[in-house]
Amino acid sequence: MKIKWSGVFPAVTTKFTDDDQLDFNAFEKNIEAQLEAGAEGLILGGSLGEASVLTNEEKYELLAHTVAFVAGKVPVLLNIAESTTKAAIATAKKAEELGASGLMLLPPMRYYADQEETLVFFKAIAESTELPIMIYNNPVDYKIEVTLDMFEELAKYPNIQAVKESTRDISNVTRMINRFGDRFKIFTGVDPLAMESLVMGAHGWVAGLVDAFPRETVAIFRLVKENRIAEALTIYRWFLPVLELDIHPKLVQYIKLAEVATGIGTENVRAPRLALKGEERERVLKTINDALANRPELPENSWGVLESQTA
């Protein structure tokens, strides 16, 4: 599947049963909500998907199940977060074999690679697969920045097509566009900076709180792209306290708690993560419940399946 790099791509959570197995029933319920709301892609096995505690077998099972369940409605991307080039290439090849539409690619994990090492890592993976690739640029959490000069090198690889822009520097959207024009499709990757990035020209949104609030997330994206800024801003201002749950170390627990509150998820996480309790739980629940108590009515035609998604 050729990827149309635009729209909301949920970074979906991985659902677990009470006995710590993959919970495909809960997972499908959430995916159905994303598709109904108008998500235009899905990303599996990211940080929010608890990739660090999934076995390779579970990642591949999750990918194969999602590809079959989605049945071509939207592209399905697998995140690659590996410590070695060899393992990353093996994951890319397996993802292609299982029907993934594309990859989201992090720099080497655990080792603080320099620019040359990072570029060689990215290039080796790009050369190993025909799948389209989104580079995940998140120096805040992963300590390696993919600079503009590095993207100049990566532009030589036609299957490196997009970037998840998570530098927390809004101006980087403009810098990328000024330097590369339309060569790389830019996805905002930080929920509390999403509308600002979209206004500055980002093509899409790799979203986290979409897992609990799919319609509102899609509505903000579409309204901005239709230049209905005032309508988008009303929703965004309401949403911001919840969106800020995305930038906490416990974002997985926070967002899963929000999924429970909106009826499209479960709270189960995999150790070493633990369920929230005490004052922290009450504080997060208050943020979520305050939002639900004032949930805005969405403008007509601001969410739902687009004709292009069913073509």
Position 45 pLDDT exceeds 80: yes
The more confident residue out of 308 and 215 is: 215
Looking at the domain assignment, is residue 187 inside a domain? yes
The more confident residue out of 245 and 112 is: 245
Looking at the domain assignment, is residue 48 inside a domain? yes
The continuous run of DSSP H or E covering 10 comes out as strand 7-10
In angstroms, the first-to-last Cα distance of the chain is 13
Tell me the per-residue pLDDT of 92-107, one tens digit each, with 9 for 90 and over: 999 999 999 999 999 9
Per-residue burial over 288-301, b if 16 or more Cβ lie within 10 Å, else e, is beebeeeeeebbee
Bridging pattern class, strands 102-105 and 76-80: parallel
The whole-chain average pLDDT of the chain stands at 97
Looking at the domain assignment, is residue 280 inside a domain? no
Looking at the domain assignment, is residue 200 inside a domain? yes
Which residue type, as a one-letter code, is found at position 304?
G
Looking at the domain assignment, is residue 255 inside a domain? no
Position 110 scores a pLDDT of 86
Q: How many structural domains compose the chain?
A: 1
Position 301 pLDDT exceeds 60: yes
Position 262 pLDDT exceeds 70: yes
Position 311 pLDDT exceeds 70: no
Position 208 pLDDT exceeds 80: yes
Q: What is the DSSP string of 155-214?
A: TT-TTEEEEEE-SS-THHHHHHHHHHTTSSEEEE--GGGHHHHHHTT--EEEESGGGT-H
Position 310 scores a pLDDT of 56
What mean pLDDT is predicted for residues 143-155? 97
What six digits make up the tokens of 34? 């994303």
What mean pLDDT is predicted for residues 140-157? 96
Tell me the per-residue pLDDT of 166-189, one tens digit each, with 9 for 90 and over: 999 999 999 999 999 999 999 999
What mean pLDDT is predicted for residues 225-241? 98
Position 307 scores a pLDDT of 76
Structural domain including 149 reads 7-236
Position 164 pLDDT exceeds 90: yes
Position 309 pLDDT exceeds 80: no
| Contacts (Cβ under 8 Å, ≥6 apart) of 297 | none
Looking at the domain assignment, is residue 241 inside a domain? no
Looking at the domain assignment, is residue 295 inside a domain? no
Position 85 scores a pLDDT of 98
Closest residue by Cα to residue 270 from 124, 43, 54, 79: 54
Cβ contact 11:45 at 8 Å: no
Q: What is the DSSP string of 27-73?
A: HHHHHHHHHHHT---EEESSTTTTGGG--HHHHHHHHHHHHHHHTTS
Cβ contact 229:223 at 8 Å: yes
What six digits make up the tokens of 51? 């990739």
The continuous run of DSSP H or E covering 8 comes out as strand 7-10
The continuous run of DSSP H or E covering 80 comes out as strand 76-80
Looking at the domain assignment, is residue 37 inside a domain? yes
What mean pLDDT is predicted for residues 244-252? 97
CATH number at residue 62: 3.20.20.70
What torsion do the CA atoms of 169, 3, 83, 87 make, to the nearest 10 degrees? -170
What mean pLDDT is predicted for residues 270-285? 98
